[in-house]
Structure 1
Amino acid sequence: MTNKITTPAGFSRRAALGLGGGAAIAGLVGCGGSTPPSNSSKITVEKSVVDAAKPFKGSKLGILAQKQYAQSANTAFTNAIAAFSKATGTSVTSSTIEGDTGDLVAKTDAAIKAGNNRDMAFVDDGRFLAEFHELGDLEDVTDVVEELKKTWGEPSPEAQLNCVFDGKWYGIPYYFIGQGMFARKDWFADKGIKTKEYYSYEELRDICLEISDPTKKRYGWGMTVNRSGDANGMIEGVINCYGGAMTDNTGRKVKLYSSETIDGVSFLADIFTSPKYKPMLPPGIGSWTDSSNNENWLAGIVGVINNQFSVYADSKAQKNPVYKNTQSFIGCTGPATDTPLSAGASEALVVFKGAKNAGLAKVLAQYLMHGDALLDIAKDSTGLVLPAWKKVWDSDSFYTNGDPAFTIMRDMQEAPLPHKTTTGYTFPSVPSAGRQAANQSYVLTDMMQRILKGMSVKQSVQQANDDLIKIFEQQGVKQ
């Protein structure tokens, strides 16, 4: 699978993203080097990696690491970097970036243009790579990926969709992010409801109402429509399952306004505005951020959420009783789908244009995506971090037997893509700078907020469609 995305004529990087003159990275944590964690010595750095890094001994490299919502995963990544530095005689400093601030691409692009950027990063491929590529910020890493294929087979279909542009790789698949939906199976059992591999959205809504009991602080529905990455994904997922889409199948033509989109948005709006469903909405859900559903899930307050496996990992790490009462499932269907459109997501390692140590960056990337460097993170994150490559899945028994949820995640990750709706749309959508900029601008969550404040569904969907057109045209993609 390859994307045929080319940079449009007249494309204005700064006009498209509203960049200022600063070169700092928003949300940066720990900008300097970090002290090697005490257990970094437990990580084996293969001789082939050490040999490949010999030409770079004594040199420095900086990497931006996207913050994960499981602290154990962040710590394990730091351990892996420390082990690499020690074994190769190099100095690698890792800085943490927030992916949900809405300005990650803009701030990083500004740093690259000013010559103040780190050498590399790992970021969510479906959310950021197309924008970075269209801005001209990424190095071609096809040589690395082709070399990795010789040992590890093919990367996931999702990664192939999001990392390849015009037949070239601009992201090195790093790891697959376990994600899906989670249900309190004990709450379901209390009502005699059997858990399944997936539900229709209407079925799940009705179940959420049935398992709710505000007197016991039990609220079935744990998914917000407030500005957040989780809400963006959930809203778009509902629209897609109802037969609508943000764009056509090229990813370049806005198609949001349709009767199918209106039906899907009306379904969601009813949940948040109808008195009938008020008992299943936890207090404060209207102002939730990306961490809020995690917090409420771990507190035992909500019955169903849509999330990455960070919440699952945290419940296990904290020995929270919620863990043994969690049922994971792959998602929901709608009127236009027979099975969920879930494809998961992946993190990709990218090398930035102007990297001062691109050679060492490529060696580090090859080290991180398998072996102890990946396994230690996977063991500390229980489903949040899983292999992105077919043969890495089979390289250790932990990936197949470490947790009951892993089988579901591997099936999702290896499923043939794209999925198709009865309305002719294919998913995951082809990545484009316009789509990713729209997600960073929270067009869909803002659409829902207008409805909650009294605007009609049709009017708000029309405004969202108009907003999308403006964003795409700012990117140089004429509508």
Structure 2
Amino acid sequence: MKATSASVRGGLSRRTMLGIGGGTALAGLVGCQTTKKPAASSSVAVEPAVVEAAKKYKGTKLGMLAQKQYADSANTAFTNALSAFSKATGTTVTSSTIEGDTGDLVAKTDAAIKAGNARDMAFVDDGRFLAQFHELGDLEDVTDIVDELKKTYGEPAQEAQLNCVFDGKWYGIPYYFIGQGYFGRKDWFAEKGIETKDYYTYEELRDICLEISDPSKKRFGWGMTVNRSGDANGMIESVINAYGGAMTDNTGRKVELDSPETVEAVNFLAEIFTKDKYKKMLPPGIESWTDSSNNENWLAGIIGVINNQFSVYADSKATKNPVYDATHAFIGCTGPATEKPLSAGASNALVIFKGAKNVELAKVLAGYLMHGSPLLGIARDSTGLVLPAWEKVWDSDPFYTDGDPAFSVMRKMQEAPLPHKTTTGYTFPSVPSAGRQAANQSYVLTDMMQRILQGTSVKESVQQAQQQLIKLFEQQGLKQ
């Protein structure tokens, strides 16, 4: 899937685009790539083709919900991009920031849509929210613009293709890609003669964390909590999947958490947090960490391995933290049921809500945001946390290809063929499921681990989690 660099690196050629369905707002929009280095995020370029596509909407308004990004500078860069669009097109685009980890994002937005007072569009994590919005009937079909964008920018991320498509139609426009992986202290590894590799087994990683730990030096190897948080949700599910278990079957509609494989995986994690043997590798307070805690402790230089989005890596680079130079980024871990890590990264998608008052202008804005200086400004200001979701955009600027050694790791992750398959027959990433997304927002898996830490047996806690999942899925209309 690698793009032909020569066709893109100097700027994609302009083309005359035909309208879709007779006079669509997409006419002339795609294919408008600048040949000069994009301006800084505070001075975002708006291509003439974008202005032309938005001409008929001059004087109209558009409302955007923007998911809060980890880097404040990236949030500012996004706002600057919207301001530049508004000024150049004579439209008024307003934006409100939303927090994705509150657990009520979908419910609140759905209520606003049903009441007829929602914003026109949003950008959200496609793997966490799109299936729920689609199940509720809240999203416009955006297949037309995705098909047009493909003609110029190639294929979007494989992960986005799995999460944005329902019954053959696109309901999200891939916006940007965020790498996910593991990070280890390569200097601590080297002191113990431990090889740095692209991936390890989970048992290898556990043993490495124990070996590099030294509480007298404030060094704690294991930096992954099982407390209520998005990071813990992802880590627990990843271990379960690598051991051959899964939350659902491959349709995403039937709960299948309670299995011998899941019990084995959960027992593996439970031993780390309950056995004296591993106590020295756990940093103080890890049982109550939130999503920001592992970032803070990693940047403070006291933990040796974490599982995270690339936000923590980007932050260490941006702040010139010495941890940056000591970081070994690797794709993930395998388990008894996998030959390679199941990592796929995550994408954010632009969605247009049902009842939007300015659907066609929203499509123009989406096509403007996902490439060129609007995206590059956010990518630079997030220190590479935000990266292209489209294959040819990767080669549109040297920053994406050469800005950091870790970017190539993220590109390989994005372009790896999906889905991955386990020896037990499950495929990952899982099919988008409103039930799974509701379960993640309800922290079923982290609560399962917390019960175990408080004395419930592994088997009983897994069974309780199974029953909670069944209830949640049925609430989403997925009969069990």
Kept in 2: contact 1:232–1:444 (CA 8 A) = yes
Aligned position for 1:452: 453
Aligned position for 1:12: none
Identity of aligned residues (%): 83
Kept in 1: contact 2:175–2:389 (CA 8 A) = yes
Which aligned runs of 4 or more in structure 1 are off by greater than 6 angstroms?
Answer: none
Kept in 2: contact 1:153–1:390 (CA 8 A) = yes
Q: Which amino acid aligns with 2:165?
A: V
Q: Which amino acid aligns with 1:441?
A: S
User: CA–CA distance in 1 between the matches of 2:60 and 2:219?
Assistant: 55
Q: Which amino acid aligns with 2:92?
A: S
Aligned pairs for 1:320-469 (under 5 A) are 320-469=321-470
User: CA–CA distance in 1 between the matches of 2:310 and 2:275?
Assistant: 31
Q: Deviations over 1:262-304 (max 9, x none)?
A: 0000000000111111111111111111111111111111111
User: CA–CA distance in 2 between the matches of 1:451 and 1:242?
Assistant: 19
User: CA–CA distance in 1 between the matches of 2:466 and 2:90?
Assistant: 53
Aligned pairs for 1:153-192 (under 5 A) are 153-192=154-193
Aligned pairs for 1:186-201 (under 5 A) are 186-201=187-202
Aligned position for 1:250: 251
| Cα drift, residue 72 of structure 1 | 2.5
Q: Helix, strand or coil for the counterpart of 2:70? A: coil
Kept in 1: contact 2:41–2:373 (CA 8 A) = no
Aligned pairs for 1:71-82 (under 5 A) are 71-82=72-83
> Does structure 1 residue 300 correspond to structure 2 residue 293?
no
| Cα drift, residue 71 of structure 1 | 2.1
| Cα drift, residue 41 of structure 1 | 5.1
Q: Which amino acid aligns with 1:310?
A: S
Q: Deviations over 1:360-414 (max 9, x none)?
A: 1111100000000111111222331111111111111211111100111111100
Q: Deviations over 1:128-184 (max 9, x none)?
A: 000000001101111110110111111111111100001110000001111111111
Q: Helix, strand or coil for the counterpart of 1:42? A: coil
> Does structure 1 residue 238 correspond to structure 2 residue 239?
yes
Q: Which amino acid aligns with 2:430?
A: S
User: CA–CA distance in 2 between the matches of 1:76 and 1:328?
Assistant: 26
Kept in 1: contact 2:58–2:90 (CA 8 A) = yes
User: CA–CA distance in 2 between the matches of 1:332 and 1:265?
Assistant: 15
User: CA–CA distance in 2 between the matches of 1:73 and 1:184?
Assistant: 27
Kept in 2: contact 1:68–1:310 (CA 8 A) = no
Aligned position for 2:128: 127
Kept in 1: contact 2:434–2:476 (CA 8 A) = yes
Q: Helix, strand or coil for the counterpart of 2:284? A: coil
Q: Which amino acid aligns with 1:341?
A: L
User: CA–CA distance in 1 between the matches of 2:404 and 2:41?
Assistant: 24
5+ unaligned residues in a row in structure 1: which ranges? 1-37
| Cα drift, residue 95 of structure 1 | 1.2
Aligned position for 1:150: 151
User: CA–CA distance in 2 between the matches of 1:307 and 1:174?
Assistant: 20
Structure 1 41/50 Cα, relative in aligned 2: closer, same or farther at 3 Å? farther
Aligned position for 2:261: 260
User: CA–CA distance in 1 between the matches of 2:42 and 2:388?
Assistant: 22
Q: Which amino acid aligns with 2:330?
A: F
| Cα drift, residue 39 of structure 1 | 6.0
| Cα drift, residue 70 of structure 1 | 2.1
Aligned position for 2:287: 286
Aligned position for 1:62: 63
Q: Helix, strand or coil for the counterpart of 1:458? A: helix
Aligned position for 2:43: 42
| Cα drift, residue 77 of structure 1 | 1.3
**Bigger shift: 99-108 or 83-92?**
83-92
Equivalent pairs counted in the alignment come to: 442
| Cα drift, residue 40 of structure 1 | 5.0
| Cα drift, residue 314 of structure 1 | 0.9
User: CA–CA distance in 1 between the matches of 2:320 and 2:90?
Assistant: 38
| Cα drift, residue 237 of structure 1 | 0.2
Q: Helix, strand or coil for the counterpart of 2:291? A: coil
User: CA–CA distance in 1 between the matches of 2:276 and 2:76?
Assistant: 44
Kept in 2: contact 1:40–1:82 (CA 8 A) = no
Aligned position for 2:274: 273
Aligned pairs for 1:18-37 (under 5 A) are none
User: CA–CA distance in 1 between the matches of 2:206 and 2:74?
Assistant: 32
Q: Deviations over 1:426-451 (max 9, x none)?
A: 00000111111111111100100000
User: CA–CA distance in 1 between the matches of 2:462 and 2:430?
Assistant: 19
Aligned position for 1:52: 53
Q: Which amino acid aligns with 2:80?
A: N
